[in-house]
Amino acid sequence: MLVIGSMIGSGIFIVSAEIGREVGSPALLIGAWVVTGLMTIVAALSYGELAAMMPRAGGQYVYLREALGPLWGFLYGWTLFLVIQTGTIAAVGVAFGKFLGVFIPSISSSNWILHLWKVPPIRVGPMVLGNMDVGIKSQNLMAILLTIILSVVNIFGLKTGAAIQNIFTTAKVLALLGLAALGFAFCRNPEAILANFSGHFWHNAGLLSLHDIGGGVFVSTLTVLAVAQVGSLFSADAWNNVTFTAGEVKNPSRNLPLSLAVGTGVVIALYIACNFVYLAALPLEGTAAAATILGRGITHATEDRVATAVLTQGFGSKGGFMMAAAIMISGFGCMNGLILSGARVYYAMAKDGLFFRKVAKLHPRYKTPAVSLMVQMVWTCVLCISGSYGQLLDYIIFAVLVFYILTIVGLFVLRRTHPDAPRPYRAIGYPVLPLVYIGMALFIDVVLLRYKPQYTWPGLIVVLLGIPVYYAWSARRPQENLHES
């Protein structure tokens, strides 16, 4: 449940509009999600071996530390805290507030409560940093409140957090199944089917086709699929969060690989089904100025809320309200899964002396990393007021892929350095499938550095800044130990 709950958030309901604008082809829209599905499942199967081999709290941080050394484990935890985990929690929280505004119009991105600062655009070569408003709006205030509530709830133990996770995961899986079933049954539109399927499905999808990604820059089909992975990979991310709580899972050698394989498979199947629903209900291409839902299509759905547009087209405004409620349920469960698991990484780092020592303290009664939960909560709230959904999303994907690549490289390292270590589960398809993943992820990262520099280079800089921080923190440890003795 934790795998499914962490993966399903707000992305699946939104990002297909951006992907559609980038690829300009029904086949490539589905293709982008198939590529994401292939990569996610292969990575999960590889992680399963590491999870069964090292069933300890900390997950990916522990794998990197044991395989590649403490520096790499620290860099992952550093980036997870500053960008990946907290940024994802913040983005999902902001989306929750966005769709709550469907029911309470005063909750919006334009309703400022406290405007603190307008960060000016800062140009550094091809990069544009800053250029954002910092402050509290009614929309991100909902994200902040939800972050605080769920962080406090998770102090009361894994069972309490897991109970919330199971309830909301069940609800949002049913919501996605409902979207797929209702969409196919009642929202199919002859105009959309004609535009997307009747001889047009493979439009502009040939390997030699060229695609305009803005600014008059044309790229190949493989390259545009790599560019489009930002949205779909974000929507399918966080599947690895179950490994962060490995120390609290019963029979982890069996249950962790099983959870990773089944959880990712179920979610990817649902995601691909929902995108076929979108194509059956709305034309892919549309215009932003159109007055009707069909006229706007998938690519220009209002505020990119494709799923809401589909159900509104099929059932009227009640359908839109129903979809907004489903997204809020999905976001709530996703945030809980992320908060539940992320704090365990900072706890593991603190135990290794690579984070604030107090973060390693457990709650005296509930035996949960309460301080770690609170530290994560504070930084997430800071991110909530510093960027929009899209800004938060774009900054994390490059860094996410960097550490997935390094972790799977660690699988090869451990096979060589610890050949006799107990492995209750061995990665299916090793070494071919892990190598395929590494090659695909490296290609995507290189493409993103080239064609989305303003989002990816800052992510790389955050990772690199962790190197001097690691050595500074490491230098403090002997002094602190001497002082304590």
pLDDT of res. 26: 95
How far apart CA 263 and CA 316 sit, in angstroms, is 33
Give pLDDT tens digits for 343-366: 877 887 788 777 777 888 888 787
How far apart CA 418 and CA 66 sit, in angstroms, is 10
Cα first-last separation, the chain: 45
Question: Left (φ > 0), alpha (ψ -120 to 50) or beta: where does 135 sit?
Answer: left
- Going by the DSSP 8-state scheme, the letter that residue 84 receives in this structure is I
pLDDT of res. 252: 66
pLDDT of res. 69: 92
User: For residue 20, what is the enclosing H or E element?
Assistant: helix 16-23
Give pLDDT tens digits for 225-282: 999 999 999 988 877 766 655 556 667 667 777 777 788 888 899 899 999 999 999 9
Q: What is the DSSP string of 143-184?
A: HHHHHHHHHHHGGG-HHHHHHHHHHHHHHHHHHHHHHHHHHH
- Going by the DSSP 8-state scheme, the letter that residue 426 receives in this structure is -
Mean pLDDT by 10 residues, the chain (485 residues): 70 91 94 94 86 75 89 89 88 86 83 85 65 84 94 77 66 78 90 90 88 82 93 85 61 72 86 95 93 94 87 89 83 80 80 80 82 92 80 81 94 93 85 96 92 79 91 73 45
**What's the angle, vertex CA 283, arms to CA 215 and CA 199, rounded to 5?**
95
Q: Considering the domain 2-484 in this protein, what is its CATH number? A: 1.20.1740.10
Q: Where are the domains of the chain?
A: 2-484
